[in-house]
Amino acid sequence: MGHSSRVLGHYDKPMWDSIARKEWALQYCPESARFRYPPSPICPDSLSMNYEWRPIKGTGEILSWAIFHRKYFDDFPPPYNTIAVRLDEGPIVVSNLVGPEPEGDWIGRRVQVVYAEHDGVTIPKMKLV
């Protein structure tokens, strides 16, 4: 079984540092004017390797959701929800919806990031706006 763990690739650390400061930032390419996620070495649109870490607003819209009924991680007892969110900056992120859950269809509901502590790591989650 085992615990969940983050992927900490060569470009991930600055993002997780920003999350720890509760100021989630993503790579922004000035040439294509696009944000990207997950972090990567180059802009897939402009092929520019120049980027800045720009804080995101943390707002977006639920694209879809799925409820886990099986246990895959020691630290995630089922049932629990997962959501895919289209950030207002463009990229799609996966998260969990905390707090009240919508009745019926979740898709299209607006959400806002909230920061939660999980085993000593700050994780960005979402709540309904």
Partner 1 sequence: MSKSQLSKALSGVAAIAGVGHSDWIADYAAVRGGAKPHDSFGYGAIALKRALEDAGIDKSEIDGLVSGPPTAHERMCEVLGIDPSWGAQADAMMGIQAAAMAIHAGMCEVVALVYGNDQRSAAVNYGGSNAAGGNAFLSYIYHAPWGFTSQGALYAIMLRRFMHDTGFTEADMGQVAVAQRLHASLNPHAIMQKRVTIEDYLATNYVTEPLHLLDYCLINDGGVAFIMMSAERARRGKRKPAVIHGIGRHDLSREATSLAPRLTNFYRPAQAKVAEQVFNMAGVGPKDMSCLQIYDSFSVHIPLALEGYGYCGYGEAAKFLRETGISLERGLPVNTSGGHLSESYMQGWNHQVEAVRQIRGECGDRQVPDCRYVHYSSDVAGKALSIIYGH
Count of residues near partner 1 by CB under 8 A: 37
> What one-letter code names the amino acid at 75?
D
**Binder of partner 1 out of 70, 100, 103, 120 (CB under 8 A):** 70
Task: Identify residues 27-66 at the interface with partner 1 (CB under 8 A).
Answer: 37-38, 44, 63-66
φ/ψ of residue 108, rounded to 5: 95, -10
Nearest residue to 111 (alpha-carbon basis) of 81, 82, 85: 85
For 16, the 3-state DSSP assignment is helix
Contact positions vs partner 1 (CB under 8 A): 1-7, 37-38, 44, 63-70, 72-73, 75-76, 80, 82, 84, 91-96, 105, 107, 118, 121, 123, 125
